[in-house]
Structure 1
Amino acid sequence: MLKWLAAILRAEWGGPGWLRLFDYLSVRTMLAALTTFVISLIIGRLMIRWLHDRGYRDVVEDYGVIDVGNKRGTPTMGGLIIILAVLAGYLLWFDVHSKLAWAGLASLLWFGLLGLVDDLYKIRGGSGKAGLSQGVKLFLQTAFAGLFVWWMLSPLSPVPPELRTQLYIPFMKAPLLDLGLYFIPFAIFTILAVSNSVNFADGMDGLATVPVAIVYMVYAVVAYVIGNEIYSAYLNFDYVAGAGEFAVLAGAIIGACLGFLWYNFFPAQVFMGDTGSMALGGLVAVMALLLKQELLFLIAGGVFVVEGASVLIQEKIGIRWLGRRIFYRAPIHHAFQHRGVAETKVVIRFWIVAMLLGFIALLSLKFR
């Protein structure tokens, strides 16, 4: 918004020279991060009180040997803090003409609304199992994914036609293959898998927040490189005009997540809930698809991949096929907790792993 206003001021009246700062992606990215961080800190305390007073409190499943008593009654739907901070902060610094920006915001709002409804059903039903049925959630997620893929493959897409269905692998310069029509189910699966894997990881105080911020940091760098003709040529990436706008959006997400972490770290004053985890997962999936770096998430978001895989293995292979549990609890972080590892230790170790995976993902930009 301010970039657009600054351009008008310079065109009409010349304007002061410092208005040119809004043309720099790096400046807008840092300002977006700072803005959303401050906003999330300010509205966080107010939102926590509002959620608590209205009874929007988490319904924690009792795992028997795992003590969850100290979490009962903690306000949930804290993802609203992140979403509102991003909307208020990012809209100040984004490029109003960017199709990528609007696609990102659409995914954030769609999945955020879906998560919000799911949280409300759980609270109303008094159980973590009382949310939207798995079938309804998958249908609504698939509906968005289908609309998104149609748009991405249409003439309206900002992605060059020759790149839209290509599949790239980290550490390789050339695309592995052209998926053609198979890109449609691949893209839909990517959106469903990524959004739900982030959702599965949100089970301990602060567990999902830092790894999410790290994933967005990686994609911010990727977006900056791919959206710059010089850097993309130097690092052997296919240039996508306007892709750098995702760096600004990712910066806004990072700032909002850090502000949210202020209240979410142990002992948490608020939980992200499906409102936040689905929104953040859905958005990063859309970013990965539009930047043509879908498989990079397997590295940068390795923590989420393992969390999601543990649930899939437990439910589909262990319980359904073998008739027994493979892990004592899934997602995998509860299995560590069952072994007696303190919650804060599990969380910090997951953070360390996420940081190391983030570094490896960034190295893949150069070692190609």
Structure 2
Amino acid sequence: MLNWIYEAYGRGFGPLRLFGSFFFLAAVGYATTAIATWVALPRLWDRLPKDRGRAFAVNAEQSVGKPLSAGLVFVSIFCLGALIFIPFQAAALRSLPFIFAAMLVGYLDDRRGGFSEYQLAAMDLAIALAASVAVLGLREWAIWLPGFKPAVLLSPWIGLPLATALIWISINATNCSDGVDGVSGSLTGTAIMILGALLYAVIGNADVAAHLHVPVNPEGADWAIMAFVMVGSVSGYLWYNAAPSQVLMGDAGSRPLGLMIGLLTVATGNPLFLLLVGSMILANGATGLVKVAVTRFLGIRVLAGIRFPLHDHARKELGWSNTQVLVRFLILHLGLSALLVILVLKIR
């Protein structure tokens, strides 16, 4: 909306010209949604469902009775913020209905005590496919990979299933990573922030992209605004989720956050970015999914001595406190992301 005001009225009026700056929109969007979430959440969390505890989760009893589904609040604030700060013509806005749908699926799962695994998998798949079609359309998807200077054009028959799989994995890995105060919000928030910075400064910048032989995304700045608006919402939530937490995001928060990471990965044009900036999210959550799938469908027991999610293994088997899990996972997350992203950008 602010960009529309700039286009309609701001070109000849000095202060309104700020509404045409993507950097200004991203920064103010972050601050606005952070403050809005910080103010709104404690006023609304008494109306949220309460956590009942999770079977087999370490220290699950510590969360029993706490307000759950904070994602219902901060994702709703994010959606309103996106409409205010992202240009109306941006392709990124076409993903908003699916982020909202992922939030609703998560909220219903939190409130009713859980859909079956297969029901959730099917709903996630439908949302991931619809979001992929909304963002990519039925055209070719240009991706780039380390070691190959030219872009690789994928037909819709290959590109859409690949994008759908990336988003589906991201949703479920992020959902499985939730369970320790501050961990899921911090890991996902930093992953989204890194992707947003790359889309703004590298992939959305024609000069930098040309220098690095990376295909430019003309709407990279739009996606960057969306990323920072979401990080602002998550920051407002983390204020109350710091150990010992007062409120939990639930599936209503983790599922749309995972969807956002998947969408931003698709926008970068490099499918490997899901691994590069989400390494600890995947290690914490997706490895457990692989273990369950291999054991259930192939009858092969793998990683039998490791608890999943990994944060449970760290607390139960290694004796780490919640704060140690948060700080150490975040250190690994930032270190791996910085190293891998730099390598991929330079190895062209």
TM over 0.5: yes
AA partner of residue 103 (structure 1): R
* Structure 2: 5+ residue stretches without partners: none
Residues 313, 326 of structure 1: 8 Å contact kept: no
Is it true that 1:317 corresponds to 2:294 in the alignment?
A: yes
1:181: how far off? 2.5
1:311: how far off? 1.0
RMSD over aligned CA atoms reads 2.3
Is it true that 1:109 corresponds to 2:103 in the alignment?
A: no
Query: How many pairs were matched up?
Result: 344
1:140: how far off? 1.7
Q: Please name the residue that 1:335 is paired with.
A: 313
Residues 315, 322 of structure 2: 8 Å contact kept: yes
Residues 223, 291 of structure 1: 8 Å contact kept: yes
- What is the TM-score normalised by the length of structure 1? 0.86
- Superposed CA deviations along residues 306-364 of structure 1, whole A, max 9, x for unmatched, are 12333124312346623587145311111111112212111211111111123224424
User: SS state of the match for residue 277, structure 1?
Assistant: helix
Q: Please name the residue that 1:360 is paired with.
A: 339
User: SS state of the match for residue 110, structure 1?
Assistant: helix
AA partner of residue 185 (structure 2): T
Aligned counterparts of 2:60 and 2:125: Cα–Cα separation in 1: 33
1:56-75 equivalent positions in 2, closer than 5 A: 56-63=49-56, 66-75=58-67
Aligned counterparts of 2:153 and 2:305: Cα–Cα separation in 1: 36
**Closer/same/farther in 2, CA of residues 277 and 19 from structure 1, 3 Å limit:** same
Aligned counterparts of 2:108 and 2:77: Cα–Cα separation in 1: 20
AA partner of residue 104 (structure 1): S
- Superposed CA deviations along residues 192-231 of structure 1, whole A, max 9, x for unmatched, are 1011000000111111111111111111122112222222
- Superposed CA deviations along residues 4-47 of structure 1, whole A, max 9, x for unmatched, are 11221136xx32x1221221211111111111111111012112
1:221-260 equivalent positions in 2, closer than 5 A: 221-224=197-200, 225-260=202-237
* Percent of aligned pairs with the same amino acid: 24
Structure 2 residue aligned with 1:199, among 175, 188, 211?
175
Q: Please name the residue that 1:145 is paired with.
A: 128
- Superposed CA deviations along residues 35-93 of structure 1, whole A, max 9, x for unmatched, are 11111110121122332xxxx111212438x4332221111001123212212333221
Residues 91, 135 of structure 2: 8 Å contact kept: no
Residues 170, 296 of structure 1: 8 Å contact kept: no
Residues 166, 179 of structure 1: 8 Å contact kept: no
**Closer/same/farther in 2, CA of residues 292 and 322 from structure 1, 3 Å limit:** same
Aligned counterparts of 2:275 and 2:22: Cα–Cα separation in 1: 26
- Superposed CA deviations along residues 265-314 of structure 1, whole A, max 9, x for unmatched, are 11111111000000110122122113312211101000111123331243
Residues 216, 254 of structure 1: 8 Å contact kept: yes
**Closer/same/farther in 2, CA of residues 364 and 24 from structure 1, 3 Å limit:** farther
**Closer/same/farther in 2, CA of residues 88 and 188 from structure 1, 3 Å limit:** closer
User: SS state of the match for residue 182, structure 2?
Assistant: coil
**Closer/same/farther in 2, CA of residues 98 and 143 from structure 1, 3 Å limit:** same
Aligned counterparts of 1:341 and 1:9: Cα–Cα separation in 2: 56
Aligned counterparts of 2:82 and 2:131: Cα–Cα separation in 1: 21
1:175: how far off? 3.8
- Superposed CA deviations along residues 109-130 of structure 1, whole A, max 9, x for unmatched, are 12111111111121xxxxxxxx
Aligned counterparts of 1:325 and 1:152: Cα–Cα separation in 2: 37
User: SS state of the match for residue 208, structure 1?
Assistant: helix
User: SS state of the match for residue 316, structure 1?
Assistant: helix
- What is the TM-score normalised by the length of structure 2? 0.91
Structure 2 residue aligned with 1:28, among 25, 29, 32?
25
Q: Please name the residue that 1:94 is paired with.
A: 86
Residues 205, 264 of structure 1: 8 Å contact kept: yes
Is it true that 1:285 corresponds to 2:262 in the alignment?
A: yes
User: SS state of the match for residue 205, structure 1?
Assistant: coil
User: SS state of the match for residue 203, structure 1?
Assistant: coil
Residues 144, 214 of structure 2: 8 Å contact kept: no
* Structure 1: 5+ residue stretches without partners: 123-130, 156-160
